[in-house]
Amino acid sequence: MRVRLAFMDPLPYSRNDRDSIAILLVEDCATDRTLATLCLENGLGDGLELYTADTLQSAMDRISQSRLDLILLDLHLPDSEGLDTLRHVLRVDPDATVVVISGESEESSAISAVRLGAQDFIVKGTQLTDRHLIRSIRLAMERAAHRSMEAELLEIRHQMHMAHQIQKRLLPGRLFGCTKYSMAGGCQPANENGGDYFDFMRLPDGSSCVVIGDVSGHGIGPSMVMIETRASIRALVMTGMEIGEVLTEVNRLLINDLKHNAFVTLFMVHLDPTGRRCAYSSAGHPGYLVRNDGASLVLSSPNPPLGIVSDERYLSMNLDDLRGDDLLVMFTDGITEATRDHETFLGVAPVLKTVVANRHRSADYVVDQVFDLAARVEPESCQHDDRTAVVIKRLADAVPRPHFQSPADSIHSDYRMPPPPH
């Protein structure tokens, strides 16, 4: 039987998107069924979709056929008895919101039913009033909504943790080296999923590419953009494209996906295997050259971040005079914008000063000093943005060892021992 009633005061957190609330009343006693129907009518008004069933089987059929918001369930039915009734219902719909209606002598069973998964129970008799029934329904739906939200949050947390693990595996090791360079990088996300990244790539011709990037925003969305950016760059670099062309193509791909909802600042370096020169390309993200004598130079271009201008052509800039102990330094704004009061920020100059002061140390040590500087201004417990830094150190050219002549080296085949003294 189906009764459609008026509904003026909507219940919160309904599981459907309709204007009405669907309730299944499972009760084999005609008198109790009529009384419960009148209570629902008086308490809820129009908009209620009420279904009734007098056996477990008919209830199971209705549950499988209809989208229900709540089930009012009598535990004792002609074809089912006690808690088994609830178990059967929850087996068909584990997420069902159930309020048990029991006889006064069955209150202990009703409490057990709540422990088993029911949201509430009502004892027949004096408790089955309009006010008490509607209050129980409201509380049951609130609890069910809370339980559903908790489950969704746990699932989201699990997914974010999985994404974080994937993201960590995509980052390279802290150290990377080749014949003419040593390199180090690190990334400290502000939360479990960050939008910063860096990458080291060794190419088939013996050259290397290094990238640092920063996706706008935080969380799972930017981390997915980061993964797409990384994959695109890696695939295109291996085709032998010049790095400006690589960023031009990556920008075109991101424009189609981001639809101006995000952007990526990025700096990319291509290191020649001779160690004498490199090329760089910038998408709204500067790099820095720190010479072995302490002089520094900003490396940038007029190109905007990726994902903003669809037909942008990114430039490749050349450095043709790299020297031993020169440093190429890159860092994201999570470092330069470290702050104690959100009014005064660390800035670029102190970071470069730290790099210059430690320029004769290892690349790994310089990266640590940069992170330590930011942490002193804004401890990691208060960190509001992802922090990433990369340092590339041009190794000093090997100096030939001086050759010291040994006595054996000075003996020639025509050398004659002096005659013994007389």
* Mean pLDDT, residues 28-33 taken together: 89
Return the DSSP state at 345.
Answer: B
pLDDT for 388: 93
More confident residue, 293 or 342: 293
**What CATH architecture applies to the domain 171-394?**
4-Layer Sandwich (3.60)
Average pLDDT over residues 172-184: 77
Residue 276, helix vs strand vs coil: coil
Q: Which of 39, 57, 152 is nearest to 99 (CA)?
A: 39
- Buried (b) or exposed (e) across 51-65, using 16+ Cβ within 10 A? bbbbebebbbebbee
pLDDT surpassing 70 at residue 198 = yes
Least confident interval from 165-174, 182-191, 378-387: 165-174
pLDDT of 163 higher than 90: no
Question: What are the Cα distances from residue 93, in Å, to 58, 137, 351?
Answer: 15, 18, 59
Mean pLDDT across the stretch 87-104? 86
Fold category of 21-159 in CATH: Rossmann fold (3.40.50)
What does the domain layout of the chain look like in residue ranges? 21-159, 171-394
Q: In this structure, what are the phi and psi dihedrals at residue 404, rounded to the nearest 5 degrees?
A: -100, 125
pLDDT at 3: 38
Q: In angstroms, what CA-CA distances link 111 with 83, 104, 223, 346? A: 10, 12, 46, 60
* Residue-averaged pLDDT of the chain: 81
Looking at 45-129, list the stretches that DSSP marks H as alpha helix, in order from N- to C-terminal side.
Answer: 56-65, 83-92, 107-116
How far apart CA 99 and CA 137 sit, in angstroms, is: 7
- HSE toward the beta carbon, residue 85, CA cutoff 13 A: 32
